[in-house]
Amino acid sequence: MIGMQCAIEEVDRMGGLNYAPPEGRATKELLQAIMTADTPQIASAAISLWIESQPKFPTPSEIRRIISEKNSEHRERVNAEQRPQHNCSECQDGGMRGGKLQGRAAGPWEFCSCRAGERLRAKDPQAVEESNVIREKLLGMAQTKAVA
Ligand SMILES: [Zn+2]
């Protein structure tokens, strides 16, 4: 959501278009449609797109549609930026892979063959062994539970 003032400025930018909505209710609907933009930049981009291609004022539903598309594009971009980028898909750069307790991929931890794995092996040679001790304990607990 953006503020009312931002939306009013965007409506002002459309002053040169034909068939301006009458003051009051219709304008308010248009303002509310513009305010659904996630950011002022999105509102501005949507209105620019409209002004450049259309001779007349948009309806609130037309504006909502354009802004909703631009909101989705924006959210996807933000998500992509926030998603952590791992060099290694096997260990997510942690240096160890495996360690699954159950399922087809179940197995002990091992050093990954990537650079993160090499680094971890050099820095903490016991890491795999220690993690496997913990894994065995967890497995033991799971089995005890299953028996009981
Ligand atoms: Zn790796």
- Which amino acid type is present at position 98? G
Dig out the tokens for 49 from the structure: 């797109």
Three-class secondary structure of residue 109 per DSSP: strand
Alpha carbon separation from 66 to 47, 49, 73, 79, 110 (Å, rounded): 9, 9, 11, 20, 50
CA of 141 to the centre of ligand 1 (A): 28
CA of 86 to the centre of ligand 1 (A): 9
Query: What average pLDDT does range 51-73 have in this prediction?
Result: 96
Cα–Cα dist 136/59, whole Å: 65
CA of 22 to the centre of ligand 1 (A): 63
Tracing tokens 């913990």 back to the chain, one arrives at 134
CA of 23 to the centre of ligand 1 (A): 62
Query: What average pLDDT does range 94-103 have in this prediction?
Result: 92
Banded pLDDT at 26 (limits 50, 70, 90) = confident
pLDDT of residue 147: 64
CA of 1 to the centre of ligand 1 (A): 41
Element (H, E) at 96: strand 96-98
- By CB atoms closer than 10 A (0-12, 13-18, 19+), residue 65 is middle
Query: What average pLDDT does range 64-88 have in this prediction?
Result: 92
CA of 101 to the centre of ligand 1 (A): 19
pLDDT of residue 95: 96
The predicted-structure confidence for 123-142, as pLDDT tens digits, reads as follows 999 999 999 999 999 999 87
Dig out the tokens for 94 from the structure: 């942690």
- By CB atoms closer than 10 A (0-12, 13-18, 19+), residue 47 is buried
CA of 87 to the centre of ligand 1 (A): 8
CA of 100 to the centre of ligand 1 (A): 15
Domain residue ranges in the chain? 4-82, 96-147
CA of 65 to the centre of ligand 1 (A): 43
Banded pLDDT at 37 (limits 50, 70, 90) = very high
Question: Contact, 126 vs 111, CB < 8 A?
Answer: no
CA of 94 to the centre of ligand 1 (A): 7
Cβ burial 83-100 (10 Å sphere, 16+ → b, else e)? eeeeebeebebebbbbbe
CA of 143 to the centre of ligand 1 (A): 30
Banded pLDDT at 24 (limits 50, 70, 90) = confident
Is the pLDDT reported for residue 77 higher than 90?
yes
Q: Percent of the chain beyond pLDDT 90?
A: 76
Average pLDDT, rounded, for the chain: 93
